[in-house]
Structure 1
Amino acid sequence: MRTPHVVVVMGVAGTGKTTIGPLLADRLGVPYAEGDDFHPQANIDKMSAGVPLDDDDRWPWLDAIGAWAHGRAGLGGVVSSSALKRSYRDRLRAAAPGIVFVHLTGSKELIADRMAHRQGHFMPTALLDSQFATLQPLQADERGVEVDVSGSPEEITERAVAALADLDRTTQSI
Structure 2
Amino acid sequence: MKSHNYVVILVGVCGTGKSAIGEKIARVLETPFFDADKLFAENLPAGKLGQDMNRNKWLNSIIDLIGKQSKLKGCVVSCSVLKKEDRLLLDNNINHQLDWIFMKGSYEFVAERIENIEDHDRPASLIKADFETLETPKRALTVDMATSEEDILNTILKYMVRKYE
**Same fold per superposition (TM over 0.5):** yes
Identity of aligned residues (%): 27
RMSD of aligned Cα (Å): 2.4
Q: 2:157 aligns with which of 137, 150, 161?
A: 161
Answering whether residue 80 of structure 2 is matched by residue 82 of structure 1, we say yes
Give the TM-score taking structure 1 as reference length: 0.81
AA at the equivalent of 2:10: V
Q: Contact 2:6–2:29 at 8 Å: present in 1 too? A: no
Determine whether 1:131 maps to 2:127: no
Give, as a single letter, the amino acid of the residue that structure 1 aligns with 2:152.
I
Cα distance, 1:130 vs structure 2: 0.8
Partner of 2:14: 13
| Counterparts of 2:14 and 2:41, CA distance in 1 | 18
State TM-score, norm by structure 2: 0.85
* 1:1-174 → structure 2 map (5 Å cutoff): 3-42=4-43, 44-45=44-45, 48=47, 53=52, 57-74=54-71, 75-97=73-95, 98-139=97-138, 142=139, 144-166=140-162, 168=163
Whether the 8 Å contact between 1:67 and 1:95 is mirrored in structure 2 is: no
Gaps of 5+ in 2: none
Offset at residue 49 of structure 1 (A): 6.5
For residues 69 and 86 of structure 1, the distance between their equivalents in structure 2, rounded to whole angstroms, comes to 18
Contact kept, 8 Å, 1:66 with 1:93, in 2: the verdict is no
3-state SS, counterpart of residue 89 of structure 1: helix
Q: For residue 38 of structure 1, report the CA deviation from its aligned partner.
A: 1.2
How many residues are treated as equivalent by the alignment? 161
Q: Give the superposition deviation at 1:3.
A: 3.0
Quote the offset at 1:63 in angstroms. Answer: 1.1
The AA in structure 1 aligned to 2:87 is R
